[in-house]
Structure 1
Amino acid sequence: MKKGEFIAYVQEPSALKADDISSLQNILSEYPFFQSAQLLLSKVFQQEENINFEKQLRKSAAYAANRKRLHSLLFSDAKPNEVAAKTETEDVSLKSKTEAPSVQEKTPSEEEDLLNQQILTEAISSSILTEVDERVDEINKESQQQEFQRKEEKAQPTVSKSSFDENRSHPFSEWLSHFSEEEAKTKKVWQAASPETQETIKRFTKVNRPKQEFYSASKMAKLSVQEDGDLVTETLAKIYVAQQNFEKAIKAYEKLQLKYPEKKVYFAAQIQSIKNQLNT
């Protein structure tokens, strides 16, 4: 279909023929949102009494920006001067006191127009209901997502950032207090976690403990003097300082510098503090 022909059909839809159906369908297969083509296809289906008219009518109602225009297009060609079938009236003398009221029968053309109007009304209503249902589904999904996010935020406790600087030198009592606060925060997070999350953490952190051997005083004495360089902790280094075992304390802090380079400045300050005590 050429551009000029299409414009002519838009200006005079009643000029559409059955041969134009395939051309309009080809246009809509490439441009399904072309509402003018949708309206013209509905019109030619109506004129040709095509079996797909009702289906195409619903589709046109969905794509139409102005459904009044669709209604006007489909029903503007009704012939107003069409002669109605004449009906003869006979006077029937009845013995009853009143005469039965005469019933005016509708012509086939009027019945067809009424049926078409009902089909159009149902199509438009169905399209509107479909749009409303889709919008309601979108609103429900958004509400469910927002409710889920609120529950997730409520389940996660807010952990305030501590002003304690681990890279600076602090008294031993402040370090113990800091570790106690961290342990309390960890406990709160654990309690706030769901049972499924706790079970998962337990499963991945579970350690198969070896069978406990019979207590041996000699073995325990040997183990007490053994040191594992990979298990050096700040607590162990602080214990060495408290015991005035400064040499081991310095070695422990040096290992911690290698193990935790981000706290290198803090450990260096501790080593310098120990050396100052040795020099006094």
Structure 2
Amino acid sequence: MSLAKFQYYIEHPASLDSRSLTMIRSVIEEYPFCQTAHMLYACNLKNIQHISYNSQLSIVAAYAGDRSKLRSLLFLEYTRETSELYLPVSENVISNYDTEEKISEISVQADDTEIQDDILIAEPDKKRAEILSKEEIINRFIQQEPHITRPQKEFFNPVNYAKQSTIDDEAIVSETLARIFLQQGHKEKAIRVFKRLILIYPEKSSTFAAQIEKIEKDYK
């Protein structure tokens, strides 16, 4: 439909007939949120006494920002001087109380629907808040009870290892560990470490044997 034709129907809604119905419907399909197109379509259905008029009336009532303008279009005959859809109309009122009552009912239903929509929107927000509260509780519990977390494995530290006097296992041996034992006065432990090192590194056995000799000589 051309813009000029659409403007013509806005200025002369009484001219809407069975031929214009398809054209107005195509405008709605292309611009589904066009309030004026929905109102013209309802008026067109009313003019030709179409069976879908009541159902379209429910739809257009939801789209209409000001339902008084919808009433004006459906119940008042526009003068030829009208240049816009919502300008003043003549005093010739088309009496149709059943349809006007239908619009009033739809207006109330639409208002109730808006309230229900607000409730439906509020419900997810409430559930989201509950979920966030649970997450906050869990996070707070973890922060206050750090002992429930899995302890990280500590890297081998020969100094700490040597300080644990109850440890006699020398599965982890090194020259550094032997020297630390010597500094702490554990002569026998240091010698055992060097003997283990001789078995592990036979190519350095003479070096470790010399260390054992030195320990036995210096730490009598």
TM-score normalised over the length of structure 1: 0.50
Give the unaligned 5+ runs of structure 2: 79-89, 185-214
Residue 120 (structure 2) aligned to one of 109, 131, 137: 137
Name the CA distance, whole Å, in 1 between partners of 2:179 and 2:65.
Answer: 82
Residue 274 (structure 1) aligned to one of 166, 175, 180: 180
Name the CA distance, whole Å, in 2 between partners of 1:137 and 1:57.
Answer: 25
Residue 136 (structure 2) aligned to one of 148, 153, 163: 153
Name the CA distance, whole Å, in 1 between partners of 2:179 and 2:56.
Answer: 89
Residue 242 (structure 1) aligned to one of 147, 154, 164: 164
Gap change, CA 1:240 and 1:18, over 3 Å in 2: same
SS where residue 18 of structure 2 aligns? coil
State whether residues 42 and 57 of structure 1, in contact with CA within 8 Å, keep that contact through their aligned partners in structure 2: yes
Structure 2 counterpart of 1:274, one-letter code = I
1:22 aligns with 2:22: yes
Query: Could you tell me how far 1:238 is from its partner in structure 2?
Result: 4.3
Structure 1 counterpart of 2:106, one-letter code = A
**What is the root-mean-square deviation in Å for CA atoms of aligned residues?**
4.0
State whether residues 17 and 44 of structure 1, in contact with CA within 8 Å, keep that contact through their aligned partners in structure 2: yes
In the alignment, what sits opposite 2:34? 34
Structure 2 counterpart of 1:17, one-letter code = D
Query: Could you tell me how far 1:127 is from its partner in structure 2?
Result: 2.0
State whether residues 57 and 120 of structure 1, in contact with CA within 8 Å, keep that contact through their aligned partners in structure 2: yes
Name the CA distance, whole Å, in 1 between partners of 2:92 and 2:28.
Answer: 36
Deviation string, structure 1 residues 170-191 (Cα, Å, up to 9, x no partner): xxxxxxxxxxxxxx6233x79x
Name the CA distance, whole Å, in 1 between partners of 2:36 and 2:64.
Answer: 8
Name the CA distance, whole Å, in 2 between partners of 1:76 and 1:117.
Answer: 12
Name the CA distance, whole Å, in 2 between partners of 1:17 and 1:61.
Answer: 21
Gap change, CA 1:64 and 1:245, over 3 Å in 2: same
Gap change, CA 1:56 and 1:273, over 3 Å in 2: farther
Query: Could you tell me how far 1:30 is from its partner in structure 2?
Result: 1.9
State whether residues 35 and 64 of structure 2, in contact with CA within 8 Å, keep that contact through their aligned partners in structure 1: yes
Structure 1 counterpart of 2:100, one-letter code = Q
Query: Could you tell me how far 1:274 is from its partner in structure 2?
Result: 3.0
Number of residue-to-residue matches in the alignment:
171
Give the unaligned 5+ runs of structure 1: 83-108, 161-183, 191-230, 255-269
